[in-house]
Amino acid sequence: MTDLEGLHSVMRGVTRLGEPLVSHTTLRVGGPAEVYAVPASEADLRAALAWAHRTARPWRVIGLGSNLLCPDAGYMGLVLSLEQACAAWRLDGNRLWAGGGVHLAPLVARTARLGLSGLEAVAGVPGTVGGALAMNAGTPKGEMADVVRWVRVLLPDGRICRWSRAEMRFGYRTSRLQEEDGIALDAELQLRHADASDLLRDLRDRAAQRRRTQPLELPNAGSIWRNPPGDYAGRLVEAAACRGIRRGDAQVSPKHGNFIVNLGRATAGDVIALMAEVRAEVERRFGVRLHAEIRWLLGQEALEALLDHPPG
């Protein structure tokens, strides 16, 4: 039996060999995943994880890939999607229980229509509940941490824990899920009753503001850099005259300095070379070292090393 037949025999759901990751990221960059799996249920997800462990394969979980940079050479290992296993949500009064694979945007719209406030803080953030928890997604209006009561997490050894908000160690665009391997299966969120028409007006205003200020017409991954303390990465990139510069088909958006857009055939190599150039220029002019907000599928330490010594 091949390794993959072994996976089929223990896991129900979709499995694909050599699945192009380019179609699973909003920046539209990335090579093939050795194995891409969409387990049918939580039990199947655990079986897939156990299979990865048995066959000594590294694994990663992805959401909508809206904050993800994937290598051109692809990923030798298992890439997991929760879009089937953790796709349910339900409301109990003003408590929302949502699976890690649930898409955020319809949830934000639905809760606002029901007059429940809390998720408008992440209005306009593409992605899944799991991705938003891992990233502690947010805006100046607030962040996921503000509404989380607990998160149920599948650990690499197959155990399931429930981490409270404090145990999630949320910080600016970070959480314990970035320090330790674990899969956010679902979470309970505490919302507040509010006026539905006020909430909906707020969502409309903020969507219009995003359209005005962000290059939503081109593939991108949101903010590339974390804001340094007391400043904005986009402001620094623009002040360093990096707006509009290009490497291959990767371009610092002329509309927003903290966005890199894919003009057509950008590669991860182009994006990394461009990031390295921008970071060096900002550091040279202002003495501020930018750090990536975008997640590199092979880990942030590896990305930092690539930014210091870009290939080619």
In terms of CB distance, is 222 or 269 closer to ligand FAD? 222
Distance CA 135, CA 295 (A): 9
Binding mask 184-223 for ligand FAD (x = CB under 6 A): x-----------------------------x-x---xxx-
In terms of CB distance, is 207 or 241 closer to ligand FAD? 207
Q: How far is CA 267 from CA 22, 50, 58, 232, in A?
A: 10, 32, 23, 26
Least CB distance from residue 99 to ligand FAD, whole Å?
9
Contact between 62 and ligand FAD by CB under 6 A: the answer reads: yes
**Residues in CB range of 147: below 8 A, 6 or more apart:** 118, 119, 121, 189, 190, 191
Contact between 71 and ligand FAD by CB under 6 A: the answer reads: no
**Location of structure tokens 């938003």:** 132
Annotated catalytic, 173?
A: yes
Q: Is the separation of the CB atoms in 61 and 105 below 8 Å? A: no
The length of the chain in residues reads: 312
Per-position b or e across 108-138, b if 16+ CB within 10 A of its CB: bbebbeebbbbbbbbbbbbbbbbbbbbbbbb
Closest CA to 45 of 96, 101, 97: 101
In terms of CB distance, is 214 or 267 closer to ligand FAD? 214
13-32 positions binding ligand FAD, by CB under 6 A: 26
The residue within the footprint of ligand FAD, chosen from 7, 29, 52, 68 (CB under 6 A), is: 68
At residue 262, the 3 state secondary structure works out as: strand
124-183 positions binding ligand FAD, by CB under 6 A: 125-128, 130-132, 134-135, 137-139, 173, 177, 183
Annotated catalytic, 293?
A: yes
In terms of CB distance, is 247 or 295 closer to ligand FAD? 295
- Which of 42, 83, 143, 293 is catalytic? The answer is 293
The residue within the footprint of ligand FAD, chosen from 63, 77, 118, 257 (CB under 6 A), is: 63
Give the tokens for residue 203: 């969502």
Distance CA 60, CA 296 (A): 11
Q: How far is CA 97 from CA 39, 91, 152, 187, in A?
A: 20, 6, 11, 6
Q: Which stretch binds ligand FAD (CB under 6 A): 28-36, 39-47, 62-70, 245-253?
A: 62-70
Least CB distance from residue 177 to ligand FAD, whole Å?
5
In terms of CB distance, is 7 or 79 closer to ligand FAD? 79
Per rule CB under 6 A, count of chain residues that contact ligand FAD = 34
Q: Is the separation of the CB atoms in 29 and 267 below 8 Å? A: yes
Sheet of 250-252: strand order equals: 246-247, 250-252, 260-262
- Which of 28, 60, 152, 173 is catalytic? The answer is 173
Contact between 64 and ligand FAD by CB under 6 A: the answer reads: yes
Catalytic residues: 173, 223, 293
Judged by the rule CB under 6 A, the positions of this chain that interact with ligand FAD are 26, 60-68, 82, 100, 125-128, 130-132, 134-135, 137-139, 173, 177, 183-184, 214, 216, 220-222, 295
